Amino acid sequence: MNKKRFAVFTSTVLATSLLLSGCQLLTGYQKIDEAENATAWSGQVIPMNGEVNIACAGTYHCEITQIDRTSVISTGTHKPVDITMLISISNADGIPYAKLSKREQEQMQVDTLPLLDNKSVKIVPLSASGMPGLINYYARVKPIKREVHINFYPENNVDYIERFALIDEFKQSGTYLLRAYRRKSPQNNGSLLDTASPEPLCIDLLKDNIFQRRFCKQSDTDNQGEFVETSMIMQESIPKVAPSAP
């Protein structure tokens, strides 16, 4: 399994010390084997008043592995760590939410019970994954500043993982999407070196489809293999001018 380093971001880049250490000691880890694949998924994020939805997309598969100190999806089983966090969305006949009419959606009893507190995490089956047999989930949490860890799978290979984490305010309710993609280089002239090197992986943070932040993987010596926020890259590229003498 790829064990590349990953960084946690605030407005500045932090050290890569926030690995998923201690996850096995968290409540519910022993219930991995009890978590069954959901028989239905929503097909869309269902907004809840006063809550934040966190989702990921853009690669063959992606998983929210941790929110703050709570483990969410297991990297080993690709299933919820704690089955009690899982919400299944379908009507009495097992028809997924997204395939129901608007009137049927309004009449359907969805788990709309408010989250108990800021530590509460609920996960909802969103859609079938690009990897056969796996499911994409999104998370429901309270709107406060949070640390989110996500595994992205750029290839159809469960052993190739790009680990990403960030700290963001998440203080306004709504849907936050972390979308991964390969950035096209404007300097790519089609040379053998250019075509042999993969385009860098970037991750955009969007809130209700509005761009918020961007992180791209770096190949330079100082930040090799790390995701760095583009605003930081732009600041570092500005030449420093020594103050003039009085």
Enumerate the β-bridge partners of residue 136: 127
Q: Please tell me the number of Cα atoms within 13 Å of 133 on its side-chain side.
A: 5
* Per-residue pLDDT, 26: 29
Phi, psi of 240, deg, nearest 5:
-85, 130
Q: Are 149 and 65 in contact (CB under 8 A)?
A: yes
Distances (CA, A) of 152 to 55, 131, 136, 156, 221: 12, 12, 11, 11, 23
* Per-residue pLDDT, 156: 94
* Per-residue pLDDT, 62: 97
pLDDT tens for the 246 residues of the chain, in order: 443 333 333 332 222 222 222 323 223 323 333 334 455 677 789 888 899 999 999 999 999 999 999 999 999 999 999 998 988 666 566 666 667 777 766 665 555 667 889 999 999 999 889 999 999 999 999 999 999 999 999 999 999 999 999 999 999 999 999 999 988 765 555 544 444 456 889 999 999 999 999 999 987 656 567 899 987 554 444 344 444 444
Q: For residues 92 and 113, give the distance between their C-alpha atoms in angstroms, rounded to a whole number.
A: 19
Phi, psi of 99, deg, nearest 5:
-95, 0
